[in-house]
Amino acid sequence: MTIHNPVPPVPFAGAATLVIGGGRNIGREVAREFARRGARLAVADLDLEGAEEAAALIREAGGEAVALPCDVSSDASVKATVASAEAALGPLAILMNNAGILSGGNPEDIPVAAWQQMMDINFFGMVRAIEAVLPGMIARRRGHVVNTASFAGLYPFATSRMHYAASKAAVVSLSENLAVYGMDHGVRVSCLCPGPVMTTSVLGMKHWSENYTMRAPGSHLTVKSQEETARILADGMEAGRIIVPTHDEVWDTLRERAASPDAYVIKKHGEFASGDSGKPAVPAEFLANKP
Ligand SMILES: NC(=O)c1ccc[n+]([C@@H]2O[C@H](COP(=O)([O-])OP(=O)(O)OC[C@H]3O[C@@H](n4cnc5c(N)ncnc54)[C@H](O)[C@@H]3O)[C@@H](O)[C@H]2O)c1
């Protein structure tokens, strides 16, 4: 798909880049991929040790990277992280908001406080970072903001984690609207929408219900690697893409859903009722170290 994004690109080469939630898995691989393409990195995470490991891997490969602590649920922490990143690298050219949490359960078992925490980290965490970085990008008329959403934010299937799905739908809306706004201000926006990607995020996740079935985005999909995900994102950013899904099959799903959103919801129920929970195929090479 060719996109003619009216905002000039922010080349990776030399770009001062902050990846929040870069300590492990997708965020770490994205930071490494950006660095391979020449970006200068600040890798921030609640897990400072993970961020330090990521930064060390980048430096070992000949890149430039610092590690920073960040708790996206705190205004003060996010502001301090952005200030430290800019002190180390100069004005930020690329901001990636990748921090996220996950828990599961039936909607009636998930406490309101857990819905609020989900929104506070997965959505307001991005709002906090954007508030800290956007004024500078607008003043310089240069920047690229990347937010990580999910297929769960694009179409209905995640009945086993609705608070997560709602937070990611909010991320998609924020990203698309910010992309429109950014076009008048020289700021590009991309929204990484991962489908199933092999990570350790489900390990130790909180379950609010005793018996429930995890619903996945579709049995027609195949789990992707973190490395491929990172390449798809970086290629998409270079191509001026706004919505960047990891799996192209999602465009057919979105077309089908747009033709009749009601029929899509009913079809999804029928799939689940017939025992198809939407689990993707797992390539053999992942099975050995599947989380
Ligand atoms: N793995 C998948 O299949 C998949 C699918 C769809 C969307 N996603 C999204 O992609 C992103 C990365 O997923 P992942 O599988 O690598 O997950 P992950 O849990 O391994 O990574 C999330 C990172 O965010 C950090 N984090 C959590 N809370 C934080 C906070 N308060 N402040 C700062 N950092 C915090 C974690 O320490 C971790 O490094 C997430 O936003 C996730 O929702 C993943």
Could you give the CA distance from residue 180 to residue 284 in angstroms, rounded to a whole number?
Answer: 41
Atom of ligand 1 nearest to the CA of 99: 24
pLDDT in tens, the chain (291 residues): 568 999 999 999 999 999 999 999 999 999 999 999 999 999 999 999 999 999 999 999 999 999 999 999 999 999 999 999 999 999 999 999 999 999 999 999 999 999 999 999 999 999 999 999 999 999 999 999 999 999 999 999 999 999 999 999 999 999 999 999 999 999 999 999 999 999 999 998 999 999 999 999 999 999 999 999 999 999 999 999 999 999 999 999 999 999 999 999 999 999 999 999 999 999 998 877 655
Q: Tens digit of pLDDT for each residue in 149-192?
A: 999 999 999 999 999 999 999 999 999 999 999 999 999 999 99
Residue 8 lies in a domain: no
94 occurs within a structural domain: yes
Which of 78, 98, 120 gets mutated to test ligand 1 (max ligand atoms within 8 A of its CB)?
98
State the closest ligand 1 atom to the C-alpha of 22, by its place in the atom list counted from 1: 39
The CATH number of whichever domain residue 255 belongs to comes to 3.40.50.720
The number of the ligand 1 atom at minimal distance from the alpha carbon of 24 is: 39
Is 151 domain-assigned? yes
Residue 40 lies in a domain: yes
Q: 201 C-alpha vs ligand 1 centroid, how far in Å?
A: 7
Query: What's this model's pTM, rounded to 2 decimal places?
Result: 0.98
118 in a structural domain: yes
259 CA → ligand 1 middle, Å? 32
Does 44 reside within a domain? yes
Are 188 and 145 a contacting pair, CB within 8 Å?
Answer: yes
d(Cα 207, Cα 120) in Å, to the nearest integer? 19
Q: Is 164 a catalytic residue?
A: yes
- 120 Cα: distance to centroid of ligand 1 (angstroms): 14
User: Is residue 9 in a domain?
Assistant: no
DSSP H helical ranges for the chain: 25-36, 48-60, 75-89, 112-122, 124-140, 162-182, 226-238, 250-259, 261-273, 284-287
* Host domain of residue 151: 16-287
Please count the structural domains in the chain.
1
Between CA 78 and CA 163 the distance in angstroms is 23
Answer yes or no: is the C-beta of 126 below 6 A from any ligand 1 atom: no
